[in-house]
Amino acid sequence: MLAVMCEEFGPPEDLNLKEIPDVTPGKGQVRIKIEACGVNFPDTLIIENKYQFKPDLPFSPGGEVAGTIDALGEGVTNAKIGEKVMAMTLSGGFAEQIIVDESALLRRPSSMPGDIAAAFTMTYGTSMHALKQRGRLQPGETLLVLGAGGGVGLAAVEIGALMGAKVIAAASSEGKLAAAKSAGATEFINYSTQDLRTRIKEITGGNGVDVFYDPVGGDMFEKALRSTAWGGRGLVVGFAAGEIPKIPINLALLKGCDIVGVFWGAFRLRQTELDNQNFAQLFAWYEAGKLKPYISASYPLDQAVVALNALKNRQVVGKVVLTTAALEV
């Protein structure tokens, strides 16, 4: 099979597309013939050894896949050859085949094509867990989404609106804010040209936001925290800006607010049944036409470097996926 391999840590240009042996599922595992794989910001960090998950070399990046089961390992009882599935994998997705534990499978809706399924798992899983379990978002509350034009950001905008919140989208360009508007945001901040705190004060009448969702990090986190209402919740989702915030912790005391970490991958491993309930709701919304994942670009496997650099350089609105062949609907 073909796979994009990371043989030494470094930039995307160091990756190589290679022919490697087919993989065989072990006990309790299945093999997925991959249709598409989502490309996510952690992929840009993992290949440079800058992420909390550090696979052994050599490895193929790519943490979420969609495809068809084409082989079963010993003891597999709840999966069948030919089933269309999706899975969170941490690595190994930039390839034509992958082995996953049976327990890691999600059965995708019959109406969901492979490219959408590959763009769905991490972004919607993260944002649903963040807003429901960690942020405890309530109808009528005000939600600020930073990085609202990215994959997880747009998912958070959609889910927040469906949960009944007033959604403020903050992003670095008018194009990204236009995508957030289509996703359900009603207020907008272009933080390339506008001051975040001033605009939040204007929008909320000085009350601040009840919940903020931050996949960006850097100085944006402190600005959002200072703009939080009494009893608010700040969601630590990621650090796309490349800088982990260092904040005056007394702000949490003065605001009576919570600073809450969001680690969806660990949540899925530790509380799988609860996460499956989250996905049941997400799939129901999708089938009702209430969730519309936005894929800005789809690349063949041999253009993985282009896809990663587009993400790394913040040129992406929504999601980017890699495909291995013509997608099956």
Domains of the chain (ranges, CATH numbers):
2-120+293-323 (3.90.180.10), 125-264 (3.90.180.10)
How does DSSP classify residue 133? I
Half-sphere exposure of 148 (CA within 13 A, CB side): 35
The whole-number pLDDT of residue 314 equals 80
Round to whole Å and give the CA distance between 145 and 181: 12
Half-sphere exposure of 160 (CA within 13 A, CB side): 37
The whole-number pLDDT of residue 244 equals 86
How does DSSP classify residue 109? P
Of 204, 188, 191, 194, the C-alpha closest to 142 is 204
The whole-number pLDDT of residue 280 equals 96
- Tell me the per-residue pLDDT of 307-319, one tens digit each, with 9 for 90 and over: 999 988 888 888 9
Dihedral pair phi/psi, residue 80, rounded to 5°: -130, 145
Question: To which H or E segment does residue 300 belong?
Answer: strand 295-300
Tell me if 162 sits within 8 A of 290, measured CB to CB: yes
Segment 293-300 shows an average pLDDT of 93
Tell me if 100 sits within 8 A of 30, measured CB to CB: yes
pLDDT over 60 at 328, yes or no? no
Tell me if 154 sits within 8 A of 180, measured CB to CB: yes
Place 259 in a pLDDT band, splitting at 50, 70 and 90.
very high
The whole-number pLDDT of residue 312 equals 85
The whole-number pLDDT of residue 184 equals 96
Rg (alpha carbons) of the chain, rounded to whole number: 20
pLDDT over 80 at 268, yes or no? yes
Looking at every residue in the chain, the average pLDDT score rounds to 93
Which tokens hold the place of 199?
A: 């605009």
The whole-number pLDDT of residue 311 equals 86
- Residue that has been written with the tokens 């919140």 in this structure: 165
Place 243 in a pLDDT band, splitting at 50, 70 and 90.
confident
pLDDT over 60 at 327, yes or no? no
Dihedral pair phi/psi, residue 47, rounded to 5°: -70, -15
CB atoms within 10 A of CB 235: 28
